[in-house]
Amino acid sequence: MTTNSDPGLLLRGALPAVTEAELATLHERLAERAAAEGVLDVAYRTLDTPVGTLLLAATGTGLVRVAFAIEGHDQVLQALATQISPRVLRAPRRLDAAAREIDEYFAGRRRTFDLPLDFRLSSGFRRAVLTHLPGIGYGQTASYASLAAAVGSPGAFRAVGTACATNPLPVVLPCHRVVRSDGQAGGYRGGPAAKRLLLDLEAA
């Protein structure tokens, strides 16, 4: 007769199975405790949408990052840990409002967002461009040149393009509504297919 001498296997065999729901509950309790103790600076969750899985991240100030899968969610989380704080934790409930409003937008039931935003990942001219984006109405577009003029720098249309390309809050801050003067869609952080889908959604 042989016996299994691996204590790890013996221990695992003695432990009760944990369901996904139980793990989620434990994780949520951990997130709540971390927030209560002031050791949670960036909360995040993911959300499935027609443009793929989005990563949503928020600080105590507000929504700070919306990232497409094409950007690499792990890389985005690492950047947040470097740029804001290493105390980053998956805490879906803290982003329920953001997830709900984005779902409503994709379902055609919402045209503007009412979320607190944290602009700390942008500064100077780029932040000025971002604050003008909500002024481009749902279903409308503006050229990079016209947005540059609106910001007060008529010749800075290339800089406007850079500000849109580095927008940390796409979809919520609608840089997808900024197009080239010839009517072509132009570049987009989430890729050309995502930009086209958003424009078509709003045009429908």
Q: Is 143 helix (H, G, I), strand (E, B) or coil?
A: strand
Q: At what angle do helices 157-165 and 144-151 cross, to 10 degrees?
A: 100
Q: How far apart are CA 130 and CA 48, in angstroms?
A: 25
Give the position of tokens 């790890």: 8
Residue 184's Cβ-side half-sphere holds a number of Cα atoms within 13 Å equal to: 5
Backbone angles phi, psi at 66, to 5 degrees: -125, 120
> Which is nearest to 118 in space by CA: 109, 127, 106, 110?
127
Residues marked active site are found at 175
C-alpha closest to that of 48 among 96, 98, 103:
103
pLDDT at 183: 82
Q: Which residues contact 34 (CB under 8 A, 6 or more apart)?
A: 40, 87, 89, 91
pLDDT tops 60 at residue 174: yes
Write down the pLDDT at residue 27.
56
d(Cα 16, Cα 152) in Å, to the nearest integer? 64
In this structure, the strands spanning 63-67 and 178-179 are unpaired
11 pLDDT more than 70: no
The whole-number pLDDT of residue 143 equals 95
How far apart are the C-alpha atoms of 64 and 122, rounded to whole Å? Answer: 10
What would the mean pLDDT of 3-9 be, rounded to a whole number?
Answer: 53
More confident residue, 6 or 115: 115
Asked if pLDDT for residue 1 goes beyond 70, the answer is: no
What pTM, to 2 d.p., does this model score? 0.81
Answer with the residue of higher pLDDT: 169 or 182: 169
Are the C-beta atoms of 61 and 41 separated by less than 8 Å? no
Give the closest residue to 113 by CA, choosing from 100, 125, 122: 100
pLDDT of residue 101: 98
Please report the pLDDT score of residue 105 as a whole number.
Answer: 98
Q: 77-119, pLDDT tens digit by residue? A: 999 999 999 999 999 999 999 999 999 999 999 999 999 999 9
Q: Domains in the chain and their CATH numbers?
A: 17-106 (3.30.160), 124-203 (1.10.10.10)
Q: Which 3 state secondary structure label does DSSP give 175?
A: helix
Higher pLDDT, 191 or 31: 191
pLDDT digits (tens, 9 = 90+) for 17-75: 667 666 555 556 656 665 555 669 999 999 999 999 999 999 999 999 999 999 999 99
Q: What is the mean pLDDT of residues 134-162?
A: 94
Mean pLDDT of all residues in 180-192: 90
- Banded pLDDT at 186 (limits 50, 70, 90): confident
